[in-house]
Structure 1
Amino acid sequence: MDTIASLFSFITWPVSWVIVQFHKLYGAIFGPDTGWAWGLSIVSLVVLIRICLIPLFVKQIKSTRNMQALQPKMKAIQERYKSDKQRQSEEMMKLYKETGTNPLSSCLPILAQSPFFFALYHVLSNIASGKVIGVIDQPLLESARKAHIFGAPLASKFTDSAAEVAALDASLTSVRIVTAIMIILMSASQFFTQRQLMMKNVDLSVKTPYMQQQKMLMYIFPVIFAVMGINFPVGVLVYWLTTNVWTMGQQMYVINQNPTPGSKAQDSYLQRLLKSVTQHGEIRSRRHKAVVKAIVAKGSDRNENERRFIGALSKAGFAAQADGTVVKSDAAVAEAEGIAAPKRQQPKRQTKAQRQSGGQQGKGEEAVEETPEESAGEAAQDAPAKPSLEKKPETPAKGGAQGGRSRANSGGSRPRKGQQRPKHPSSKK
């Protein structure tokens, strides 16, 4: 560990300078030689470093989600080019380039933090050895060696001998108890951080080998930290425990406010958003509007959580809009409950007698409008044909006999027009 730490000795000066500046601040409050002054200086160093690493943490989240989404495609490429490793690598790189994914982005926060970790380890190791390092001069060195956290010196380790611990004015029992508790807390925080990521913030609809790898790391990492922790000075354990707690809190915030699509965390987030909409009748924050806008834009590509959210909005009487807002909509309720608007049915055609009788018996019944042609046709069918009584004006006959024959043949009247009623078979012709 000392050899690795010496590789990052170039950064020990800025790390020691930051610690000294925080020590001046806390030393004025708690006293310069107290463990609180030096311990809080280390904690403040962690907070400062992690704030600077927030942009890398955002990239880590995006890269992790992209890697989860690309797992099925990556598996298909591996199966397709199983015998051609070079072509397989080319297709993988092409996939990463098309989607803008960098596999190393998920490791960026750890890689960026490691120089500060080893530099701090190098500083504390020199304090334990009584060597001046960076901006820590001899008076500050003596002050740091006297600082104890719950009876354990900052530079002491779990593996130190009784003589080494006695040289730092402490007992071996207190050192081992404090270091053991801190190692357990460090490993437990690492396990809980990884567990909440796997149990709440993973898309359960996609089963890939990536999930199995993450599950293995959930159990392997705490064991690695526990084994390595016995060789860490108390000050480094304070540093690593603080950064684990920061990571755990940061992860909880991301899971609650920006969950992975398709995960349990997204379902809980959308349920909280639905409750807020039903209580206030609108979407207030811009971030919530952006979420609803993205869900509406997906259309048929929504996952199960998003479809359930849109359906619940409809049942509550709201319709999500393309701009991320919601509006009151009775049609959305009817559509969600599967109730279609009743269609107007055309009543059956009635005869004139039925319409007349129906108009006398009931009120408000609808009747079908008829055209004049339809009314005339029905009247012709209902009423019997009557002979016309009109007489054609007679013209003066040329001769009496001819006029008499004409009147006899015509029977004294004009022939009937239109359709005639058929004669009964028994009637005489």
Structure 2
Amino acid sequence: MPDVLSTLLTPLTHAVAAVLAAAHHLATALGLGPSSAGGWLLAVALLVVAVRTVLLPVTVHGVRSAHARAHAAPQLRELRRRYAGSRDLEQLTAMRAEQRRIHAEHGVSAWGLAPVLLQLPLFYALYRVVSDLAAGHSVGALDAGLVASASAASVAGLHLTGHLGTTFGASVPGGLLLAAVALGAALLSLLTQRWFVLPMTDPTDLPEAMATVQRLMPWVGGLGVLAAAAFVPAGLVVYWFVNNAWTFAQQGLVWRFAPTPGSPAALRRATTT
């Protein structure tokens, strides 16, 4: 199955490789050495900018969908109250028809999870590209010369193609640097969830068990990044750090200027304006 998935996503993997190669060429055009750590770090940062810019319409769709669901929530809550305990097929059919009408009225998309699902192939392609670089394999526009250049780039003994265990074995400063980058990526994930995502969630209709799970999710996400960082190439950890920094800033802007209606963030904004 992994081989089939890899084959299906080969065009996307090659597209990501082409963007990374172009970003590296731009970094060298700016005067950074082809095998310098600075050149490859800038290339990874530019890759994040390119990917997140492409995903901006998905982000906007997600914000609009959240607002639509929030505006529909009071009517849906009343609808559930009216039909609570009903087992009659005719009444249940009527309830579903009314639910569809409310969704249509407020523009609630039936494809609410589509934006998240669309990102999964892209993340897989990113993982394949960095993994191939770490293994010394050419992929798409990243030819043998660029692969050798990426393998040679290092900061304090930290190579972008290295792993945490091997890096610590070869260079303690490099291992500590990679651990610090992983910790930064995990912290950014945690703070994004706690400061910006949770406050934009309306807890009104959430069962207590689900609310407890939501409160734990920031910690689960942060610890997940730390755990994964022990097994993936350093280049991917760097990508996570820059990507999480982008997400932190992006969610901060949404929290400040377009919070979900009815959420604690929206109430805070209403009392301060």
CA contact (8 A) 2:198 2:215 kept: no
Alpha-carbon distance in 2 for matches of 1:230, 1:82: 51
- Structure 1: runs of 5 or more not aligned: 274-429
1:263: how far off? 4.2
Q: 1:98 to 1:263 in 2, by over 3 A?
A: closer
CA contact (8 A) 2:17 2:129 kept: yes
1:68: how far off? 4.2
1:225 aligned onto 2:225: yes
1:156: how far off? 1.4
* Cα deviations by residue, 1:376-426 (Å, 9 ceiling, x for unpaired): xxxxxxxxxxxxxxxxxxxxxxxxxxxxxxxxxxxxxxxxxxxxxxxxxxx
Relative CO higher for 1 or 2, CA cutoff 8 Å, sep ≥ 6? 2
Task: Find the residue that maps to 1:30 and give its secondary structure.
Answer: coil
Alpha-carbon distance in 1 for matches of 2:217, 2:89: 26
CA contact (8 A) 1:202 1:260 kept: yes
Alpha-carbon distance in 1 for matches of 2:21, 2:96: 50
- Structure 2: runs of 5 or more not aligned: none
CA contact (8 A) 1:198 1:215 kept: no
1:413 maps to what in 2? Answer: none
What amino acid is the match of 1:39? L
1:123: how far off? 1.8
1:77 aligned onto 2:83: no
Task: Find the residue that maps to 1:32 and give its secondary structure.
Answer: coil
TM-score (norm 1): 0.53
1:177 maps to what in 2? Answer: 176
Q: 1:175 to 1:240 in 2, by over 3 A?
A: same
Kindly report the root-mean-square deviation, in angstroms, between the aligned alpha carbons of the 2 structures.
Answer: 3.4
1:21 maps to what in 2? Answer: 22
* Cα deviations by residue, 1:281-303 (Å, 9 ceiling, x for unpaired): xxxxxxxxxxxxxxxxxxxxxxx
1:102 maps to what in 2? Answer: 109
CA contact (8 A) 2:71 2:106 kept: no
TM-score (norm 2): 0.79
Alpha-carbon distance in 2 for matches of 1:189, 1:38: 22
**Which protein shows a greater Rg?**
1
What amino acid is the match of 1:77? R
CA contact (8 A) 1:71 1:208 kept: no
2:43 maps to what in 1? Answer: 41
1:58: how far off? 1.3
CA contact (8 A) 1:145 1:154 kept: yes
CA contact (8 A) 1:12 1:120 kept: yes
What amino acid is the match of 2:186? S
CA contact (8 A) 1:17 1:135 kept: yes
Alpha-carbon distance in 2 for matches of 1:103, 1:188: 33
1:250 maps to what in 2? Answer: 250
* Cα deviations by residue, 1:151-198 (Å, 9 ceiling, x for unpaired): 311111225xx4xx59xxx81534532332222222221111111235
CA contact (8 A) 1:49 1:113 kept: no
Alpha-carbon distance in 2 for matches of 1:94, 1:85: 18
Alpha-carbon distance in 2 for matches of 1:203, 1:129: 45
Percent identity between matched residues is 25
CA contact (8 A) 1:198 1:214 kept: no
1:228: how far off? 2.4
Q: 1:81 to 1:155 in 2, by over 3 A?
A: farther
CA contact (8 A) 2:163 2:231 kept: yes
1:63: how far off? 1.7
1:127 maps to what in 2? Answer: 133
Q: 1:27 to 1:192 in 2, by over 3 A?
A: same
* Counterpart among 57, 61, 74 of residue 59 in structure 2: 57
Q: 1:175 to 1:221 in 2, by over 3 A?
A: same
1:69: how far off? 4.8
Alpha-carbon distance in 2 for matches of 1:149, 1:264: 43
CA contact (8 A) 2:28 2:39 kept: yes
The alignment covers a number of residue pairs equal to: 264
Q: 1:203 to 1:172 in 2, by over 3 A?
A: same
